[in-house]
Structure 1
């Protein structure tokens, strides 16, 4: 169990991708120490470790990992289980992944470690600064001491920290994909259509801002607008024709129209 009289914490970092490169500097800024970085890509680990004070780069997974109060697996979902199996964990190590869709039960394959989840609900992109105090952080752990450690670590970064079991976390992750990834994809379609018409993408900015502001201030289904809500058949038909060069988007338009109308 972590002795919080010795807080801040030693955080061993596994990963050097988008989450790791945003999370590591934030942990250091909060006063924690990252003793090492390990990544499947040595160059990535070296680049990240170089940005952190006194962080060591681990070149191979065959040695026992250095001591840490918590080990964070900031990896893609598919890489978590292989990393758990490949690395040599100190007995009783508290190991937490950062994934939204992976259950706590994946740690059952490694009974020598204490499993946990440290899930930041945010999108991470190169060159984009993260306002960590506003990021919701969902915490789950296999034992009370592990949960206390992860909660304390999370609270050093964010004002929005809460326990979150695997089932609700998966539901949250699905919701986040709709709100973030799918929305971004639709904006990409809109951007392409404007480019094809020789129109600037900036034309949509006021509309997008108002749409998001309205959806955040109200139950989104209650403020839906557009030709699907109005059952405006001539406009829907015109849009169908306008999308003839993009049959996949044409089908998506029809599916979204049907989904909107089903909510009325």
Structure 2
């Protein structure tokens, strides 16, 4: 934690992967995570056990929350409204959600609350360690003073902190779904196809790494390769026939091929010919 940061008393509401990673990170940054709430006693206890000094909140109905400087809601987007509706926060409590797609306006029905957003742009899994200093943190709040509080907390965790208003954050979330969730699904399809052919997924590792490296080094559309770019009809038809046993994957293949070709039609006429793959 930096010398200029202020230790905050924080309560986590939720016990999913975000809370499981965020709780220890906040404690490591010098904050006091005093309590953890979850819809189950076991969930709250599991997260609290990972954060020295934290206690699980035993009441499941959220009617008697302890006093804290900041309450961070770490539940799925669709559950945030329900938590806000059922919780009884102390008067003028500062409450922030961690959802990428949820607007700041979710706090508008609760005039007694000070609402904010503390959105970590990262994917969280139980078996993976998070490099918090590199995780972009997007902050938004209803007042400048509360925004400063959330900025202080975010900067105690990360070296990449931005004030991002709801419309831009929602666009960022859509982009993240394409870049992360959809890409991972495509990796999964590739993995399954190789399993059917009794080939190891590791064969794709150098290709995946090179693709990601190029996408980070230049605008991804300019690095597009493959049979769709080349309008290689014979290869495209062969792939389509190979996917006949997987109608859903064949549909994805065709849709992505059409999208690539449509995008290429809008590219500059002097665009260099892509490398083959």
Query: Is 2:10 the partner of 1:11?
Result: yes
Q: CA deviation at 1:64?
A: 2.9
Considering only aligned residues, what root-mean-square deviation do their CA atoms show, in Å? 1.3
Equivalent residues in 2 for 1:85-100, closer than 5 Å: 85-100=85-100
Q: Residue 5 and residue 154 in structure 1: after superposition, are their counterparts in 2 closer, same or farther (change >3 A)?
A: closer
The answer (yes or no) to whether the contact 2:63–2:86 under 8 Å persists in 1 is: no
**In structure 2, distance between residues paired with 1:7 and 1:221:** 43
**In structure 1, distance between residues paired with 2:5 and 2:184:** 43
Equivalent residues in 2 for 1:145-224, closer than 5 Å: 145-224=145-224
TM-score by length of 1: 0.97
1:85-136 CA deviation, whole Å, 9 max, x = no partner? 1111001000000000000000012111100000000000011000000000
Contiguous gaps of at least 5 residues in structure 2: 265-277
| Matched residue, 2:40 | 41
**In structure 1, distance between residues paired with 2:52 and 2:215:** 42
**In structure 1, distance between residues paired with 2:62 and 2:149:** 27
| Matched residue, 1:140 | 140
State the secondary structure of the residue aligned to 1:35.
strand
| Matched residue, 2:237 | 237
**In structure 2, distance between residues paired with 1:148 and 1:56:** 27
Q: CA deviation at 1:5?
A: 8.4
State the secondary structure of the residue aligned to 1:34.
strand
Q: CA deviation at 1:33?
A: 0.3
Q: CA deviation at 1:62?
A: 4.6
| Matched residue, 2:273 | none
User: Would you say how many aligned residue pairs link Structure 1 and Structure 2?
Assistant: 261
